[in-house]
A = this chain, B = another copy of it.
């Protein structure tokens, strides 16, 4: 089995680590514009060999795991280069733009649009970890547009990695993911900014930070190179979620200004049910 990974970071790297574990005889080829990442990926055993686009003709699987803006150019190029039985999937956090970009491509049926919801705040080949996808959700968009036999092979692989499969149209995916992923990132980045700005004038604030702050701000460690194009591609939805979030924060602030503590209590109590929701998430895992 020949597996190619284009963009060797957290998601692509972790996928090929799992594949190598499942199929020890598979050869993992890496393509990356960042030479340091290529060297590092070989050194870490994430890939076996470097490769180029002309090698893709022999590929069984091609994983495209590059920033979502780059994917719009890379995926069509990949589709030009592959063989008839090659399966290509792209794993970015937006799905509508890529689905639109290759909608009329001659090799559309070799492509599967996926979003394995399994990020961490780290990036690059050193962020790749085995077993990352165990119990995680993989959203697949427009599954009907992929050749049935290739679809089947890809699904088998995702399931072997331990992923739960959910089907969704790309528009709904992008709308919903804005709430549970894109908004969380902005919320964390701006929380980090608010506290860092304050720390400039007031020393030692971070000395007082506990695990609660750490948890809430964790995503502010994420890569701007990865996230800027995500926000760009999903701009309208992200702005909408931001409007709703800012409105809720402003209302809470108003309750506090008006000293309406009963309403504040009720607001928090009604959100407490997030416990059961998150527990549900963990049960599914």
User: Closest residue of chain B to A185, judged by CB?
Assistant: B212
Task: Verify if A104 is at the interface (C-beta below 8 Å from B).
Answer: no
A243 neighbours in B (Cβ, 8 Å): 253
CA A213 to CA B121, docked complex, whole Å = 12
Number of A residues with CB within 8 Å of any CB on chain B: 94
Q: How far is the CB of A51 from chain B (nearest CB, A)?
A: 30
A221 is contacted by which of B177, B192, B206, B275 (Cβ under 8 Å)? B275
- Neighbouring B residues of A267 by C-beta, 8 Å: 189, 193
**Residue interface bits A255-269, CB-to-B below 8 A is 1, else 0:** 011010100111111
Interface check A34, CB cutoff 8 A: no
Chain B residues lying within 8 Å of A208, measured Cβ to Cβ, are: 117, 137, 139, 166, 173, 176-177, 180-181
Chain B contacts for A106, CB-based, 8 A: none
15 contacts between A and B (CB under 8 A): A137-B210, A166-B204, A179-B198, A180-B209, A181-B209, A181-B212, A186-B249, A189-B271, A190-B248, A194-B248, A197-B244, A216-B219, A220-B274, A225-B265, A243-B253
